[in-house]
Amino acid sequence: MPKKKGGAEKDKKVRKKCYMNERETLFYEQQILDNNRQLARLRSRNEELEDTVEELKEKLRQLEEDRSDVVAHLKRVLQLKTEEARELNERLLALEELRKEEQIANKKKEEAMELEYHTMESNLSAELKLAAGKLNALEDWRAARLDLMNKFEVQEEQMAEQEERHKKALYDAEKALIIGKAKMKKEMEERLNELAQSFREATNIRIADATHRAIRENIALNKELDAMLNVCHDLESKTKEYKERDRMLRLQASLFENEAKMALAKTIKQNSLIDKLAEEHRNMTLNYGKVCREDTWARNNEQIIQDYKNKCADIENKIRILEQHIQQTKESKEQVLKEIRGSSQEIQRLNRVLNEARRCIMEALQLQAAVQEEDVCTMCYPNVKEKLLHSLLDILGRQDCPSLPESRSPSQVESVDSKYTYGNLGLVPNTRPWITMEQELLHESEKEDKCYLSEDGKTERTEFSNEMKIQENEKTDTVPECLLEDTESSDILSPRETESDQSDH
């Protein structure tokens, strides 16, 4: 038996341990689930934070771009402000010069006013002395005037007393006159009454008794007629009142009938209206939910619209800034176009000068090529050379050199590529044939024409071609006749012979 008891105790201990293990496993499983949920929440939160970080990075990049635009805009504004400050400084200098001129003028005016003041002071002192003498005379006159005024006041008092006496006497006379008039009027009325009484008594005696009776009957009839007329008037007024009352009663009856009909129709309409209102109430209760949903949707849309409006306002501000930039670029473009027009005109003038110089140089080169091997008309050659030099000097001296828009430094001048080769201008012997030199010059002139063509380049090209044709026609005239005609003395071909050979080929 003791062994069995020990075995039962061991079973109980094993069961307790299993029970504790199950509780712990459930607790740990629950804790694991909570940790998994928390981990999922933290992951979602991490993703949200990463999205916000990306958005913030995008906003930061946008702000940096906007900052660069703002910096560029501020630099332009600073440049404009510096230009404005320079203009204001120039205006200040001009105003300072104007102030100095005005100060000099004011000093001159002040000196003139001081001189005028001194003269005025001397004049006023003289006038003051004169006024003092006049014042003494006025004092004497015032004393005499006071005596006269006292006498005048005494005379006025006497005249006032005399005037009061005259008024009192006049009042007494008027009073006596009015009383006399009243007495005379009363006496006249008494006499007229006596006369009327005597006249009435005489007329009563003379009127007959029949007339008295007719008059009395007439008076009685008139009284009766008046009574009858009063009765008729009363009856007419009563009949009018009765007719008006009857008409009003009939109108009231008709109105009451109409009101009864209207009330009946109104009750019918109200019943139908009640039915309609009940139906509308049911419909409104159904539509109220829709309206609430639409109201929330509308508020959301209004918020979105407000956001878009704010964005539009920002965009409009940027557009204004861009318009200002465009206006500035337009102004600078117009300035550049003006400079280009002026430079194109200058280029045209220089082209004409170069064409004339080129013509003279070509003539000199042709002469040099013609007389290279033997002297042909040596007496004529120095004259022709001198003539060409003088014509070239006249061409270069006739054209005024315009002022350049801006000066260049020596390094900038050295960096500019030269489009011309150094030549001898027909003064130093040259070993190359004149045909190659002519081709080089023509090639250089074509390059210059391509470089300096502007908006009206087509017209310049046509003018240049016409000028070249005229120059080629004039070449034969400028070369001396001895060089053109003396073909037997030299093996070198003349310009006319070369032209004929080229045409034959």
pLDDT tens readout for residues 339-355: 888 888 888 887 887 78
Predicted confidence (pLDDT) at residue 320 exceeds the cutoff of 60: yes
- C-alpha angle 421-423-427 in degrees, rounded to nearest 5: 170
Question: Among 305, 324, 325, which residue's Cα sits nearest to residue 313?
Answer: 305
Range of lowest pLDDT (205-219, 303-317, 342-356, 370-384): 370-384
The share of the chain scoring above pLDDT 90, in percent, equals 0
Our separate counts of H helices and E strands in the chain read 8, 0
Alpha carbon separation from 463 to 268, 345, 351, 451 (Å, rounded): 104, 14, 11, 16
pTM over 0.75: no
Whether the CB-CB separation of 385 and 367 falls below 8 Å is answered with: yes
| Residue 52 Cα distances to 43, 45, 59, 155, angstroms | 14, 10, 10, 116
The whole-number pLDDT of residue 397 equals: 61
Burial of 258 (0-12, 13-18, 19+ CB in 10 A): exposed
**Statement: residue 42 has pLDDT above 60:** yes
What percent of the chain is predicted at pLDDT more than 70? 66
Q: What is the per-residue pLDDT across 293-305, written as a single tens digit (0 to 9) for each? A: 878 887 887 788 8
**pLDDT mean over 464-469:** 54
Helix (H) or strand (E) holding 245: helix 209-370
Q: How confident is the model at residue 452 (pLDDT cuts 50, 70, 90)?
A: very low
Query: Distance (Å, rounded) from C-alpha 43 to C-alpha 51?
Result: 12
Q: Going by C-beta distance under 8 Å and a sequence separation of 6 or more, which residues neighbour residue 372?
A: 429, 492
User: Lowest-confidence range among 44-58, 242-256, 483-497?
Assistant: 483-497
- What confidence score (pLDDT) does residue 485 get? 41
Please tell me the distance from the alpha carbon of residue 368 to that of residue 430, in angstroms, as a whole number: 8
Total residues found in the chain within this entry: 505
